[in-house]
Structure 1
Amino acid sequence: MANKKKEVIIVHSAVYETEYTNKYRNRVNWEEPNFNHIYSFIPGTIIDVFIKTGEKVKKGDTLLILEAMKMHNNVEMPFDGKIVKINVKAGDKIPKKFLMIEIKPI
């Protein structure tokens, strides 16, 4: 009981006291996304990588193909930029939210 934090809420001069639930305390905190990182949106296998480190790529260019549930998904460049680091290669099996590519806008 010592861990429970109490909050006081005042509504129209009425004072209410409440406690955080375990579900609230154990939630995953939101982090602002880094738009210079491309993560896998689903677990799967890398079929092919079409880019190299240091290469300049235009918005809409296909970076790689990720196969998931027997479907080939083209991962495209979200904006004009330069490839900083590639963390996958053809044949890699990757989980969801895996950092595949690091990019830098130009």
Structure 2
Amino acid sequence: MEKEHNFLLIDDTKYETKLTKKFLLRKTYKSDNNLKVKAVIPGIIRNVFVTPGSKIKKGDRLVTLEAMKMNNIISSPFDGIVKSVNVAIGQVIVKDTILIEFE
């Protein structure tokens, strides 16, 4: 049986690695709707930077999500107009909660 090896380049250092069968057969992440931003982890909403109708650019801050004592800035993945904001400051959310919807 031939082993499949791949190489990773990290900070100008080349590492040889073997990808496991489990890794190669994994289900890759695919967004079900590109007009919605979901929470990838549970936490508490600490700040909301946008309102419905806001025109935003890719990289603009949308919300701050506190999880595991860290503040995570959720940024816009693209340019657009905010259709709705589905969370409020202080709200406890679970994974996959829809935070922001775009037009």
Match of 1:94 in 2: 93
Unmatched 5+ stretches in structure 1: 1-30
Structure 1 residues 79, 34: closer, same or farther in 2, change over 3 A? same
3-state SS, counterpart of residue 89 of structure 1 = coil
Please tell me the residue identity of whatever aligns with 2:99: M
Cα deviation per residue 1:45-100 (whole Å; 9 max; x = unaligned)? 00000101001000000111000000110000000000000000100000000011
1:39 aligns with 2:38: yes
- Fraction of identical pairs, as percent: 43
C-alpha separation between the residues in 2 aligned to 1:92 and 1:55? 21
Deviation, structure 1 residue 32 = 5.9
TM-score (norm 1): 0.67
Counterparts of 1:13-24 in structure 2, within 5 Å, are none
Match of 1:55 in 2: 54
Please tell me the residue identity of whatever aligns with 2:75: E
Aligned length: 75
Structure 1 residues 81, 67: closer, same or farther in 2, change over 3 A? same
Deviation, structure 1 residue 33 = 1.2
